[in-house]
A and B are shown apart, each in its own frame.
Chain A
Amino acid sequence: MTDEIYERGLSQLLDGEMTPAEEAAFAAHLRDHPELIRDLRQHLVLWELWSQQQAPERSAQAFADSWQTRLAAEGNAEAFCRAVEARVAAPDQPAGRLTNLGETVRRALRSLWLPRPRWAALASAAAALVLVVGYLLVGAASTSAGPIVTIEGEAICTRCILHETHDCRPAVRVAAGGTAQIYYLSENPAVKQCHAPFCSKEPVRVRATGTTSVDHGHLRLEATAVARTP
Chain B
Amino acid sequence: MPIEPHPIPAEVESFGALVREHQAGLRAFIRMLGADAASVDDLAQEVFLVAWRRLADFDSGTDFGKWLRGIARHLVTNERRKEARRSRLLPFAVTDLLLHQADHDPAESVDARRLVSVMQECVAQLPSRQREVLQRRYASSENATALARELRMRADTLRQMLLRIRVVVKDCIQRKTVEVRP
Q: Are B6 and A179 in contact (CB under 8 A)?
A: yes
Size bracket, chain B contacts: 35 or more
A181 to B28, CA, bound (A): 29
Q: A64-B16, A181-B5, A214-B1 are in contact. Are A50 and B119 (CB under 8 A)?
A: yes
Q: Are B19 and A67 in contact (CB under 8 A)?
A: yes
- What residue of chain B has the Cβ atom nearest to residue A140's Cβ? B1
Q: Are B49 and A177 in contact (CB under 8 A)?
A: no
Stretch at the interface among A14-22, A90-98, A100-108, A189-197: A14-22
- What residue of chain B has the Cβ atom nearest to residue A1's Cβ? B167
Question: Chain A residues with Cβ under 8 A from B91's Cβ?
Answer: 13, 18, 20, 23, 26-27
A54 at the interface (CB under 8 A from B): yes
Q: A146-B1, A163-B45 are in contact. Are A60 and B37 (CB under 8 A)?
A: no
A205 at the interface (CB under 8 A from B): no
User: What is the 8 Å Cβ interface bit string for chain A, positions 54-83, against chain B (1 contact, 0 not)?
Assistant: 111110110110111011101110011001
Q: A49-B115, A50-B138, A54-B139 are in contact. Are A23 and B166 (CB under 8 A)?
A: no
Q: How many A-B residue pairs have CB under 8 A?
A: 203
A7 → chain B, closest Cβ, in Å?
6
- What residue of chain A has the Cβ atom nearest to residue B71's Cβ? A115
Q: Are B24 and A49 in contact (CB under 8 A)?
A: yes
Q: Which residue of A11, A54, A57 contacts B163 across the interface (Cβ within 8 Å)?
A: A11
Q: Are A67 and B16 in contact (CB under 8 A)?
A: yes
Q: Are A163 and B41 in contact (CB under 8 A)?
A: yes
Stretch at the interface among A36-44, A123-131, A222-230: A36-44
Interface residues of B in 153-177 (CB under 8 A from A): 155, 158-160, 162-163, 166-167, 169-170, 173
Q: Are B7 and A179 in contact (CB under 8 A)?
A: yes
Question: Chain A residues with Cβ under 8 A from B125's Cβ?
Answer: none
- What residue of chain A has the Cβ atom nearest to residue B6's Cβ? A75
Interface of chain A, helix or strand or loop or mixed? helix
Question: Chain A residues with Cβ under 8 A from B98's Cβ?
Answer: 37, 40-41, 44
A–B complex contacts, Cβ < 8 Å, 18 sampled: A13-B90, A13-B94, A15-B162, A16-B155, A23-B91, A27-B93, A30-B97, A37-B101, A41-B32, A44-B28, A46-B180, A48-B31, A48-B32, A53-B120, A60-B24, A61-B20, A63-B27, A74-B49
Closest 7 CB pairs of A and B: A27-B93, A54-B138, A23-B91, A15-B144, A48-B31, A181-B5, A42-B180
List residues of chain A with CB under 8 Å of any chain B CB.
Answer: 1, 7, 10-16, 18, 20, 23-24, 26-27, 30-31, 34, 37-38, 40-58, 60-61, 63-64, 66-68, 70-72, 74-76, 79-80, 83, 113-118, 142-143, 146, 160, 163-164, 166, 174, 176-181, 212-214, 219
Given A71-B52, A143-B1, 4 new contacts (CB under 8 A): A63-B41, A66-B41, A115-B74, A180-B5
List residues of chain B with CB under 8 Å of any chain A CB.
Answer: 1-8, 12, 16, 19-20, 23-24, 27-29, 31-32, 37, 40-42, 44-46, 48-50, 52, 74-75, 78-79, 81-82, 84, 86, 90-94, 96-98, 101, 105, 110, 112, 115-116, 119-120, 123, 134-135, 137-141, 143-145, 155, 158-160, 162-163, 166-167, 169-170, 173, 180-182
